[in-house]
Chains A and B, each alone.
Chain A
């Protein structure tokens, strides 16, 4: 009789876990069917033989897809060389993403700080002003940037009118255009997490810093920066990852030639008709993203353990 309540409690607990699985089933199934599962199919595709008109030959396996990510075989003498075209696109993607991250940081950090130091009632308005572009269609924002940097766009027209230049500067369809576009499009993703951690910043700590003879820069470097580091890391990750996988922005602003990884992947599923290579490239991109995320998770858990003391 004494065990009876405990038994009832354990049964109740088990029933609760079961109902929790039932409740989460629809979300889990949808995501498995339309997001996670296809990734496994793609993994399988990456090791199959390419079909002549796209697709693959089922059941015929080949390492050709993965081989082609990094190497190429000369059509005439079968010599193997590095796939320079691919590697340069990898390199461009990583380089542009890093520069984008740093640029958004340079613009975003002071902006987030500015918002966080406004009086409470106006602060909401500033946050709102950041949120609006964040939720505005990415394609529209890219298109807006295109209009600004076109040869006949505002920038060139203005510079010509001022007599700074005679001929319009070709910005569109260069790496610069992609960079401008990505900075413009991903800037809110940097500001919002930075703001979130700055909003919680205890300015009595800043006062304590000044009290202990720190100058403005010392306070920024020794007190503010370490305290908002979680937001800084989160913002950087939130900008870096979509930059790396960017597709729309380089397609619209980079034209056909200045490809990034996303466009290279699309090419394999379109004109390239090399699905195994496209699948292998996709997985490679995903792995790079996962590594970046892992770095973030480790960083976040570490700062979580030491922070909020």
Chain B
């Protein structure tokens, strides 16, 4: 009997334990998930983030029950559900294509799950009305689903999945079909919905910005593995691996050698000369040659010497900020992002030699 697991002092709603999923056999075999373990807490907004083909949707489909794992267990409230068919799992899905039933009205779509559960008529009607109200869709109850807009379809899909009050709601890139403005609106809406219902949301996306703005925690996936799990801040500020750093935001890399470790910080002698102190993730002890990451906005370009020095190759104006592309003395590239204001003028131009100040807690040692 598996013990109930806890994440950050909250009870675990869903746990994947050593899940592997292989599609096909022989030389055509594709390992979509490779020994993945992760726990998702109750009432958490948890995001699976990664490029297409990284296995995030497969993991979602395994939790929903549309696929069976090749090995491993999926625990829901401590019980293994890996072999249960989808219609016996208290888990509902918002599909990427919404998958609204085209022959049913909006209200009939929302009531479908409740009817299948055999709820009494009156309860179904009350619940459907409640859901439509929550989604502000009361007027569209009797519309056919091909007569509503993309944003409305999105809301119906959400209402339909939430109506049976599942323990866990799975969302498979639900915003990808919407235009930018609507997507922003729906991001807030989803956050609100999650807070109001208290249901655990597992959200799949390839959009890093979406993941950072909406989630309590994010799992970054690549090639069938979870590389890092953490709060959006953790993931962004302290990427554990090169892939994570690359996939989320822009990054500079610095090569160096560890001189010493003290109090959770490593003293690193950079290849370009100069020393900086860098943080590193739990469970590793940096030594020897390492790579550091520094986010462009965590560094500052100054006149004269600083932590780093190099020549300005290009200055690109972006409205809110300016990107200063430099070539460091060891030949590597380094970009600095500086906030713009109306009267500030950069005191240097292309070709000038400048110094770069790396902030106090700006560098992170990568696990390699």
- In the complex they form, whether A and B have CB atoms below 8 Å apart is answered with yes
Measured CB to CB, the residues of A under 8 A from B are: 1-6, 8-9, 12
Q: Which 9 A-B pairs have the closest CB atoms?
A: A9-B68, A8-B83, A2-B71, A5-B82, A5-B69, A5-B68, A6-B70, A5-B83, A8-B68
Chain B residues whose CB sits within 8 angstroms of the CB of A8 once the complex forms: 68, 82-83
Chain B residues whose CB sits within 8 angstroms of the CB of A3 once the complex forms: 71
CA separation between A12 and B68, bound complex, in Å?
10
- Whether a CB of chain A sits under 8 angstroms from the CB of B96 is no
Which A residue sits closest to B68, measured CB to CB? A9
B68–A6 touching, CB < 8 Å: yes
CA separation between A2 and B83, bound complex, in Å?
12
- Whether a CB of chain A sits under 8 angstroms from the CB of B72 is yes
CA separation between A2 and B72, bound complex, in Å?
5
Chain A residues whose CB sits within 8 angstroms of the CB of B71 once the complex forms: 2-3, 5-6
B83–A4 touching, CB < 8 Å: yes
Prevailing SS type, chain A contact patch: helix
Prevailing SS type, chain B contact patch: loop
Sample 14 A-B pairs with CB under 8 A, ordered by A number.
A1-B73, A3-B71, A4-B83, A5-B68, A5-B69, A5-B70, A5-B71, A5-B72, A5-B73, A6-B68, A6-B70, A8-B68, A9-B68, A12-B68
CB distance from B37 to the nearest CB of A (A): 13
Q: Which of B70, B82, B83 has the most CB of A within 10 A?
A: B83
CB distance from A8 to the nearest CB of B (A): 4
Chain B residues whose CB sits within 8 angstroms of the CB of A9 once the complex forms: 68, 70
- Whether a CB of chain A sits under 8 angstroms from the CB of B228 is no
CA separation between A9 and B83, bound complex, in Å?
8
CB distance from B211 to the nearest CB of A (A): 29
B104-135 to A contact mask, C-beta < 8 Å, 1/0: 00000000000000000000000000000000
- Whether a CB of chain A sits under 8 angstroms from the CB of B322 is no
CB distance from B76 to the nearest CB of A (A): 14
Q: Which of A6, A9, A12 has the most CB of B within 10 A?
A: A6
Chain B residues whose CB sits within 8 angstroms of the CB of A1 once the complex forms: 73
Q: Which of A1, A9, A12 has the most CB of B within 10 A?
A: A9
CA separation between A2 and B69, bound complex, in Å?
9
Chain B residues whose CB sits within 8 angstroms of the CB of A6 once the complex forms: 68-71
- Whether a CB of chain A sits under 8 angstroms from the CB of B18 is yes
Chain A residues whose CB sits within 8 angstroms of the CB of B69 once the complex forms: 5-6
CB distance from A17 to the nearest CB of B (A): 15
B54-73 to A contact mask, C-beta < 8 Å, 1/0: 00000000000000111111
CB distance from A251 to the nearest CB of B (A): 48
CA separation between A12 and B69, bound complex, in Å?
13
Which B residue sits closest to A4, measured CB to CB? B83
CA separation between A2 and B82, bound complex, in Å?
10
CA separation between A160 and B68, bound complex, in Å?
80
Which B residue sits closest to A2, measured CB to CB? B71
Chain B residues whose CB sits within 8 angstroms of the CB of A12 once the complex forms: 68
New A-B pairs, 15, CB < 8 Å, besides A5-B82, A6-B70? A1-B73, A2-B18, A2-B71, A2-B72, A4-B83, A5-B68, A5-B72, A5-B73, A5-B83, A6-B69, A8-B82, A8-B83, A9-B68, A9-B70, A12-B68
